[in-house]
Chains A and B, each alone.
Chain A
Amino acid sequence: MSWSSNLKRIRRFLRDPDGNIWTDAQLRRLFNDEQFVLQTKTRLLEDVQAVRVPPMFDFSYLHDWEWPFLSSTTGNYQALRVHQQSDIVFCHRWEPQAEWGLVDATAPDEGIHFTHPFEAFMGETPGDAIHLQLPHGFHDAKLVAWDREPIEYMAVKSIQQDDPSWLSRTGEPFAYWRPDKTDDHFCLYPAVSSPDWNDTESGSTTEAIYLVDENGNNIIHIAGGYIVISEGVTDYIQDLIDRGIGQVLYRDGDTLAVEVGTIADGDGYIPGSDMGIATDIIDADENVLFVFTKTPTPMAGQDDESDFPEYLQKYVEYATLERAYTADTDGQIQSLRDYWAMRKDLGLKAIQRFMGMRRADRDYRLVTRGAPGFRTRREPRLPDEYPAVRR
């Protein structure tokens, strides 16, 4: 159900079809706010997404003032370092020190610097943290795994205390940290040493579309959910395929999901997608797998659709109606405010009951006290297949 349909239903119960009292923008703000409230109270929205390594951002920028001019607000990376005192951007950390005459200007930095995070995987030692984009709508994590191994959150403080070369450390990641919670980025520790560039789904090595060549040039443009290949580059792409270089991101025939930098939905994997049940696999190999609770996407345009299932959106509408009738306008009516508040609260109880019924197939067992059961401590242990035990 699109936002325009939600709005029409809300206006019907407000008896304000022409927006004489409540404006569209006001109702949209209330609806968006109530989506957050409903999610906070129920934690209904959850998702699983795999984040690609190497990452793919829409844009890189240097200064904060550039951000509002970028057409994407979901996949931007602030490259290099801003010298906050002078508002200039610099590459190496010796640059501002040299300006103050503290060190020799030729003192090397600990690694290379880059403007796109994928460049950090080009074989050199990284000198900056390699940012990865959190999944679209990420709120908090329930499970994070790198290449199917669970990894845990670590504060930078803990990492720095144990590892002086933490920024340039590469290997198999066992933890992640977050540089800034407003940018929705995270970093792996240690950084991935040898990522899988050919990050396609299983069984598909042909007809791959190359997005970036070995020089970092964009040869294919992604816009509006479509992959647009620049005119005349077909031969060039074939050449790259033949030479086996470049960054493979999507298979021919794939359609892009709204999430930038995550696994795209693949048309080719959905059998009979026009009927019954269609599935899309989520590839966790050589990627960061996130199981997380979501933040609902705010409605912006008339065609936007709420993240809540269609049959639960009416409860957000009820809450919106309660808020609208509460507002100090000519349409303020206490009795209707109370009525819609009642409907909203009943809806909350209905959702809670609904979520409880999702566990209807659980097997519950009575366990004798002291009997050995599941492991309760998540301590490191050898893989299950090692050593091979024969009995």
Chain B
Amino acid sequence: MNDIERSVLEMIGEDIDSPDVFTDDSEGMAQVRDSINDAIEEITMLTGSVQRSYHMLLREGQGFYRMDFTRDRFGWITDAWLISIKRRLEQTDLIKLNQFNPRWLKNTGNPEAYGQIGQNVFFVWPRPAAELIVELNCVVIPKRYENDYDRIRLREVFKWAAAEYAVGEYYASRGDAKQAIEHHNRYLEGLGIQTMYPKTYEKRWWYRTEKTPQGVTG
């Protein structure tokens, strides 16, 4: 049981030393770990806080590459560096390349730009004339942790927010929507992005007519 899990159990009134429902094993902690993992994914996705570096082989004449991240999940690329040429690749997209030259797929040479399509396709322009190694710095979504000794890749300030996220989901699983909303709002406050996530979301707004309803007089 890690610190976040301990905080969650304390907030939902579970005895940490002798847990009743959420026992200290993978089966007993499955629900809490699921929620904490969801929180970690969302926080890293929104903050881009976890980055890793990869070396990828660009093959001669090949412009498109489907990437398969076997440890973490790919988010986006922040830097692409051609090691042997000592140069950055500029980020681009299909619209820009089509505007620049509709026959851009034919071009070969030393790559000058790269782009991302969907969630796992990486392309370079022009296609490499010879094999090259590109170093990619990528924001990744860390693999879901499974054991209490696995590293939690979160800044300290966000760990408490992750705990609130899990507590909110616990109450949602009990059918208590009010408590669930309250804890989820605390999670959002902890994350510090309240402007994007309005706190008063639970209010439902509607237009009201100024006409007098039928049958009402005076």
Contact = CB atoms under 8 A, between A and B. Distances in A.
Interface of A: 9, 12-13, 15, 44-48, 142-143, 145, 148-150, 202, 265, 270-271, 273-284, 289, 291, 294, 309-311, 314, 333, 335-336, 338-340, 342-343, 345-346, 349-350, 353-354, 357-363, 374-376, 378, 383-384
A274 B70 contact: yes
Which range contains the number of B residues in contact with the other chain? 35 or more
16 contacts: A12-B31, A46-B117, A47-B117, A277-B54, A277-B56, A277-B67, A277-B136, A284-B105, A336-B172, A339-B177, A340-B172, A342-B201, A354-B45, A359-B91, A363-B90, A378-B98
A265 B66 CA distance: 10
Interface in B185-218: 196-197, 201-202, 204
Contact of B34 (A9, A309, A359): A9
B46 A273 contact: no
A173 B75 CA distance: 36
Contacts of A265: 66
B102 A280 contact: no
- Summarize B's interface: helix, strand, loop or mixed: mixed
A45 B120 CA distance: 10
Contacts of B91: 359, 361-363
B119 A309 contact: yes
A282 B67 CA distance: 11
Specify which of A311, A345, A378, A384 lies most central, judged by the most chain B CB atoms within 10 Å of its CB: A311
A384 to B, nearest CB: 7
Contact of B196 (A276, A311, A353): A353
Nearest to A349: B196
A361 B89 CA distance: 10
B184 A343 contact: yes
A360 B66 contact: no
Interface of B: 31, 34, 38, 41-42, 45-46, 48, 54-57, 59-71, 73, 75-80, 90-91, 94, 96, 98-103, 105-107, 116-119, 121-123, 136, 139, 141, 144, 169, 172-175, 177-178, 180-181, 184, 196-197, 201-202, 204
A278 B68 contact: yes
A281 B56 CA distance: 12
A375 B34 contact: no
Given A284-B63, A342-B201, A279 B99 contact: no
B173 A13 contact: yes
Given A309-B119, A363-B90, A339 B41 contact: no
Contact of A335 (B75, B122, B178): B178
B71 A311 contact: no
B92 to A, nearest CB: 8
B94 A142 contact: yes
Contacts of A343: 184
Nearest to B139: A357
Contacts of A311: 41-42, 45, 73, 141
A365 to B, nearest CB: 11
A150 B103 contact: yes
A361 B77 contact: yes
Given A202-B61, A277-B67, A277-B70, 14 more contacts: A46-B119, A48-B118, A143-B94, A143-B98, A148-B106, A150-B102, A276-B54, A276-B70, A280-B68, A309-B141, A339-B180, A353-B46, A354-B45, A383-B103
